Amino acid sequence: MKKIDLGKYEFTKADQQIELKKVLPLTLVEEVVVEDGIQTIESNTFSGYSNLKWVTLPNTVTVIKFDAFSGCYNLKAITLPKSLKGIKGFAFRDCYSLGMETDGILIIPSSVGIIEDYAFINCFSIKAVVLCGNTIVEDRAFDGCNVNIYRAN
C-alpha cells in the first residue's frame, strides 16, 4: 500500500484550502492523509485518483466541494469529520466502492447542514446512511444508489 501524506508533496494551501497539484501519477496513490488545519477540500482535488482507497480528513475540514473525490472508483472508506458543515454536489460522484469497508453504512456527523443533489451519485456500495443531526438531504443527493436513510436523533 502506498500512503501519501500531503505534507510531503507539492500542494497549494491558501486560506486553509487545499488543492493538490497533480505531481504524482494518479494510479500510485492509495491512501491520503490531509493535514490538520485544512478547512476546504476544493473542487477536483482528488478527482480521478482511481486507486485511492482510504482518506483521512482532519477535524478542521468544513466543506467538501464539487467533484472533490469524483472518479475515485476504489475509494472504500472516508471518515467524515465532526467539523464538516456541507457536502457539495458531485463531491463523491462514481465512488463505486465507498462503503465497502463499513458494511455499506455511511455515517454523516451532526455538524453537516446539507448534502447537495448528486453528492453521492452512483455510489453503489452505500446501502444505508445514518444522519446524526438535522442534516438536509437534497432529493437527488444519492441518485443512482439504493440506500435507506436513517435519522439517529
Banded model confidence at residue 12, pLDDT cuts 50, 70, 90: very low
State the maximum Cα–Cα separation within the chain, in Å, rounded to a whole number: 43
pLDDT at 29: 83
Banded model confidence at residue 16, pLDDT cuts 50, 70, 90: very low
88-127 tens-digit pLDDT: 999 999 999 999 999 999 999 999 999 999 999 999 999 9
C-alpha 93/C-alpha 37 separation (Å) is 25
- Asked if 144 and 115 touch (Cβ cutoff 8 Å), the reply is no
C-alpha 108/C-alpha 132 separation (Å) is 6
Residue-range definition of the domain harbouring residue 28: 1-153
Copy the grid coordinates of residue 9. Answer: 508533496
In this prediction, residues 128-140 reach a mean pLDDT of 97
C-alpha 131/C-alpha 54 separation (Å) is 21
How many domains in the chain?
Answer: 1
Copy the grid coordinates of residue 107. Answer: 455515517
* Cα distances (Å, whole numbers) of residue 141 to 5, 22, 23, 24, 74: 30, 28, 31, 31, 20
pLDDT at 27: 72
Task: Return the CATH number at 125.
Answer: 3.80.10.10
20-63 tens-digit pLDDT: 544 556 677 888 888 888 999 999 989 988 999 999 999 999 99
pTM attached to this predicted model: 0.85
pLDDT at 24: 59
**Beta carbons within 8 Å of 16's beta carbon, 6+ residues apart:** 37, 38, 39, 40, 60
